[in-house]
Chain A
Amino acid sequence: MYSEKVMDHFMNPRNVGEMKDADGVGEVGNPTCGDLMKIFIKVENGIITDIKFQTFGCGAAIATSSMITELAMGKTLDEALALTRDDVAEELDGLPPIKMHCSNLSADALRAAIKDYQNKHLNYRP
């Protein structure tokens, strides 16, 4: 049911953990399915220089979290904001249809983290 890439990111997730001194933190959850996702970012000169995640959820939830951290690392905030759920699913060689909406939340979590950063640093103008 899951692609090899999903299984790889699920079994060996990249950039797992909490970031105590994060510049921005985003948390999203889906009460129906119960997945909970937290993304931490470090930002320097408008570029994401470090990113970590914590996720409570199914295989797809963990794999999409891991994938978004790889996609966002080194990107400018504008580039990162442009990442969508579909980009994440595509990079993972697809997700089961039932998981597309409930567990594919990582792009939302990243966006929330960037917004959090922007709110804390009001002088930033995209």
Chain B
Amino acid sequence: MDHSGTTPIDPRVLEAMMPFLTEKFANPSSIYTEGREVRAALDTARLQTAKAIGAAPEEITFTSGGTESDNLGIKGIALGRKEKGGHIITTTIEHHAVTHTVDYLGENGFDVSFLPVNKYGQVELETLEKEIRDNTILISLAYGNNEIGTIQDMKDIVKLAHEKNALVHTDAVQAVAKIPIDVKDLGVDLLSLSGHKIYGPKGIGALYARKGLKLAPVQHGGGHEKNLRSGTENVAGLIGLGKAMEIGKAGLTTEIPRVKAMRDRLIKGMLAELDDSYLNGHPEKRLPHNAHFRFSYIEGEALLLNLDMMGIIASTGSACSSKSLKASHVLLAIGLTPEQAHGSLRLTLGKGNTDEDVDTVLEAVPKVVKKLRAMSPLGHGGGK
């Protein structure tokens, strides 16, 4: 139940990739027949990727993953402008790939703002409107949050940003193949996506950049990807990404409703079974596969290890499980205290899960929570 962490490669994706890991190894930049054949396959993958989000193929740049896409989108816009400097807005709940990129630009001559969010993890339009300045060049915010699953009102945000002549970049790594995405309908200018979150391979991703935008490359070299991202293409990877995008789009009407039904049952069952338990993130505007809980009086790492012993894989925002020993910045940003953030549990469902898994988790988690609460000096020995 950690599909937001990563996913296994879909067998159909692997099948599509295999020839390019074996006999079809030619460099797509080579002009002989074998090279041209690989180039044609890349073009198909680009088209598949573009079509899945309503973009044109020439608006897609392949990268090494979500992090590089975020770097290229944000730095590319910031450094691609003729005028130096400018103001960039992001939020306090972004993935580190965005936060640290914006921080870096802040250290290098740009003005940066980190917008607070409300208790559901949503950026409020009034807050954003107040923060946009005359020199605001870019607003970067994730479509669906990777921890608590909250979905932003992206269309309204884009409308406001465009009225003020600011561009919008969105990290949609968690949202792609989970909710319908049409870049033209959303209006976003740049969008990051990743392969391994959608049953594709690791080490591949893409950046959508609306036609006409001027971006500076982050990686210089032989001029691949229209000089935006030099380096011989990860051929098998991007063939896999194309296939995964196609399958993911089709799954929005078949697989996702199945996942959402399981997720809804999980949330309902958990909150009914355990008192002093809460759902983090927005109750409705949330990614369909994400359930994020908070249980009082216990700590997440202890919870995770117990679940691991029972064969259940999950994730937490507790400080104790992080290398920095700091609680998740997302949980603190939605107003939780470090102690409250301690007792958090993220369950993200996907293709690997069945109704029986939901039953197992609904039995296991309350059992472990009650066991840990019985040990806790903060009280509450029983649970409901």
Interface positions of A (Cβ within 8 A of B)? 2, 7, 10-11, 13, 16, 27, 32-38, 54-62, 98, 102-103
Contacts and interface: CB of A to CB of B under 8 A. Distances in A.
A56 B296 CA distance: 10
Interface in B190-206: none
B306 A57 contact: no
B319 A34 contact: yes
Interface in B311-330: 318-321, 323, 325, 327
A7 B306 CA distance: 10
Given A58-B299, A59-B301, A102-B325, A34 B320 contact: yes
A61 to B, nearest CB: 8
Contact of A57 (B302, B327, B374): B302
Contacts of A10: 302, 305
B309 interface: yes
Contacts of B298: 56
15 contacts: A10-B305, A34-B327, A34-B338, A35-B299, A37-B377, A55-B377, A56-B375, A56-B376, A57-B302, A58-B299, A58-B302, A58-B321, A59-B305, A98-B323, A98-B325
Contacts of A36: 376-378
B297 interface: yes
A13 B325 CA distance: 24
B153 to A, nearest CB: 34
B308 to A, nearest CB: 10
A99 to B, nearest CB: 8
Contact of B297 (A11, A27, A38, A56): A56
B325 A32 contact: yes
Interface of A is mostly: mixed
A34 B299 contact: yes
Q: How large is the interface on B (under 10, 10 to 19, 20 to 34, 35 or more residues)?
A: 20 to 34
Contacts of A33: 319-320, 325
A56 B319 contact: no
A86 B279 CA distance: 39
Contact of A38 (B302, B305, B339, B377): B377
Contact of B375 (A7, A27, A55, A103): A55
A56 B302 CA distance: 9
A36 to B, nearest CB: 6
Nearest to A6: B305
B342 interface: yes
A32 B326 CA distance: 8
B325 A56 contact: no
A62 B302 CA distance: 8
Contacts of B319: 32-34
Contacts of B376: 36, 54-56
A104 to B, nearest CB: 13
Interface string B282-315: 0000000000000001110110011001000000
B378 A57 contact: no
Nearest to B321: A58
Contact of A58 (B309, B320, B377, B378): B320
Contacts of A55: 375-377
Contacts of B374: 16
Given A57-B320, A98-B323, A34 B377 contact: no
